[in-house]
Chain A
């Protein structure tokens, strides 16, 4: 993979993001509902004040003008002021981003660590009891609504067993002991040697991460199983077996490496959908992430925040796919970017 090719791929992002910016802007602006009306609800107001609020939020300008102002500012990384928070949108989003990324990564780790071994095992023990249980389990994993599964976990681990906390990222008294460096609580507490805070943060993240990671675990397991079955039938595996190579070595070194290609693709795509799943999990577990903020902002037509957040999601999604492409070349040198 040459550097020029890499830059070329990165440049392809520009038209995609421009397109996304137009779509998200127009969709938000055309969605019925007036932000000022929503903000005021049934509280007292005069028509003059409503007009003034509209002016203060810049909503009195024509849509095309608003788009170009938005685009011009966005190019300088200024995404405007959140209607509700009355602070720069970038500040509001950046505050919430680490929590979402930490949760997403944790869910991914849980999914990868459980799905790949289980998938390989299911393939090796094809049609055994284990395989069947795994099949049913993965079907359940995909079908269970995260919302319901999360509440079930809370009822069991928080209420019945009283083992884990219900909401938030860390208890206040533990949180104050950790200085934000990376803004990822688990990492920050660990590098500062605040083990009590680390354990507390881990106790907070475990249930939301399992809930978020469950569908991904189920899908990845199925994909790994199918890919593994295919690879195990390949000639080079038979050859390796004929040569008398160690079974474990064949499985984990020769077969899995090739079987991982579809798994990586699906994992990258699924990480995109984890960002979507966040919205529900963050609501159930009171997790202070971006997903919940975006959903709340859509309901109240907080245009600047939604626009900036959707752009951010788009960039992330495109970059993840890009990353998957690069990973292919590492896993399989025959693949070229």
Chain B
């Protein structure tokens, strides 16, 4: 064995000189997952979109403070409640050197919206992200008109999720080949995609500069960008610490100190957009009583869990919306930690000796579920944790109005636009997709339906604040926190900051 050990060390030393020399102008991102495809219209995956977004630009984009900026569009205006006009910029080039025209933009949206628009009878899975958009037509010169079947204030916030492709290229190669051979207008063009290993991009020197509303427009700062796939978080941390990569996503809270204490790396955080909550089965015999639900809320010390398990990297919430979301109600009752109050509420509800319940969750949230179970048990709510695969748990709980078994489910829902529309309705609407609690309140349904199409922004915000107050009183869920997205970065990196929607845009990032 000694000999083996010596051989290993010796071989490692021989290979030492072969360790990759990181070139000054190659920015490498240690990333959790490979792209599924590089066709912007043919996936439903956030990580895939993050990679694609560096190759393709959209009509509009978001800055890291979540503001919407025109990108391929010069400007846009809302003509009527259901009509938006986008003026498309001139002088934008595709990576193959051809000029982008308004026809390409129209083609992109037709491909997304039309049944069978992808060719071979296939329809884009991203069409529904355009909500009630009915048609996209060229009205005059460089103006593209979006016509909606009903008012939808979310349109500008959802448009960054769609990227422009070249009509001529798609027609020449077809949708299947486009998956590996993209031609976009973005700051980087694809150099090589080594499936499962890395996506390598090179600076596109004819780049028009991107959104003028975000400073330092122009071609990208670095010459080459590599998304290196490293699914395991401990290995991503190792790659950052060893200098192999310059940015890593999903840095686990327990590795923050290690990264912060290393002289060449630092931690960057940004408020995320995903709300975590504890769904209680509102249709069950125990949790149909609002007093029991309130008892659960008072039994959980959210600050303690945020502090001890999440290393302080989450913002506590008292309603479903993130503190940064539009329409957030900042005056909701806090349901402070008070186990005595929990016991009193249980007794009042007819359970003087407490209750016994199960708490379902998935593997990654086991620690938190165990902590919550301990706190609940301490307050007379005797809780057993059951861990299951995410898909199975979602199927058990997201029954869309169907009968539901189980008592509690620790889960979350994303809200990448920070607009209440795509989180409030899906989690609180009667029989909605993500309504794990099985909650139903016709009054709240009506309010959410009205808010979805309300065009007066102030009035709309007011409606969501009212909706949050309503939900907070009924408390179908215990609202827990919105975690921060945590990144580890090299100190050589500049001009980059993480974005709340988890995208890693590298157009402006520089390396020393």
Determine the chain B residues whose CB is within 8 A of the CB of A154 once the complex forms.
234-235, 238
Determine the chain A residues whose CB is within 8 A of the CB of B8 once the complex forms.
210
Instruction: Kindly identify, within residues 15 to 55 of chain A, every residue whose CB is under 8 Å from any CB belonging to chain B.
Output: 32-34, 37-46, 49, 52-53
A87 and B235 contacting across the interface, CB-CB below 8 Å: no
Interface range, A side = 35 or more
A45 and B26 contacting across the interface, CB-CB below 8 Å: no
A163 and B15 contacting across the interface, CB-CB below 8 Å: yes
B139 on interface, CB distance cutoff 8 Å = no
Q: In the complex, what's the smallest C-beta–C-beta distance from A152 to chain B, in angstroms?
A: 10
Known pairs A154-B235, A172-B26; A133 contacts B414 (CB<8 A) = no
Binds B, one of A62-70, A196-204, A244-252: A196-204
A74 on interface, CB distance cutoff 8 Å = no
How does the 8 Å CB contact mask read for A165-202 relative to B, with 1 for contact and 0 for none? Answer: 11111011111100000000000000000001001101
Q: In the complex, what's the smallest C-beta–C-beta distance from B29 to chain A, in angstroms?
A: 12
Binds A, one of B85-93, B240-248, B277-285, B302-310: B240-248
Closest A residue to B413 using CB positions: A42
A259 on interface, CB distance cutoff 8 Å = no
Interface range, B side = 35 or more
How does the 8 Å CB contact mask read for B1-36 relative to A, with 1 for contact and 0 for none? Answer: 100100010011101111110010010001001101
Determine the chain A residues whose CB is within 8 A of the CB of B179 once the complex forms.
85-87
Binds B, one of A227-235, A263-271, A287-295: A287-295
Q: What separation, in Å, do the CA atoms of A86 and B423 have in the docked complex?
A: 28
Residue of A49, A88, A99, A283 with most chain B CB atoms under a 10 A cut-off: A49
Known pairs A44-B131, A165-B244, A286-B229; A206 contacts B238 (CB<8 A) = no
Q: What separation, in Å, do the CA atoms of A203 and B198 have in the docked complex?
A: 17
B37 on interface, CB distance cutoff 8 Å = yes
B197 and A169 contacting across the interface, CB-CB below 8 Å: yes
B43 on interface, CB distance cutoff 8 Å = yes
How does the 8 Å CB contact mask read for B132-174 relative to A, with 1 for contact and 0 for none? Answer: 0000000000000000000000000010000000000000000
Instruction: Kindly identify, within residues 31 to 77 of chain B, every residue whose CB is under 8 Å from any CB belonging to chain A.
Output: 33-34, 36-37, 39, 42-45
Determine the chain A residues whose CB is within 8 A of the CB of B195 once the complex forms.
92, 95-96, 288
Closest A residue to B239 using CB positions: A166
A166 and B238 contacting across the interface, CB-CB below 8 Å: yes
A285 on interface, CB distance cutoff 8 Å = yes
B311 on interface, CB distance cutoff 8 Å = no
A157 on interface, CB distance cutoff 8 Å = yes
Instruction: Kindly identify, within residues 111 to 126 of chain A, every residue whose CB is under 8 Å from any CB belonging to chain B.
Output: 114, 118
A137 on interface, CB distance cutoff 8 Å = yes
A151 on interface, CB distance cutoff 8 Å = yes
Determine the chain A residues whose CB is within 8 A of the CB of B192 once the complex forms.
172, 175-176
- Interface residues in chain B, defined as those with a beta carbon under 8 Å from any beta carbon in chain A: 1, 4, 8, 11-13, 15-20, 23, 26, 30, 33-34, 36-37, 39, 42-45, 115, 121-123, 125, 127-129, 131, 158, 175-176, 179-180, 192, 194-198, 200, 224, 226, 228-232, 234-235, 238-239, 241-245, 389-392, 394-395, 398, 413-414, 422-423, 426, 433-434
Q: Which 5 A-B pairs have the closest CB atoms?
A: A288-B196, A171-B20, A288-B197, A199-B18, A33-B391
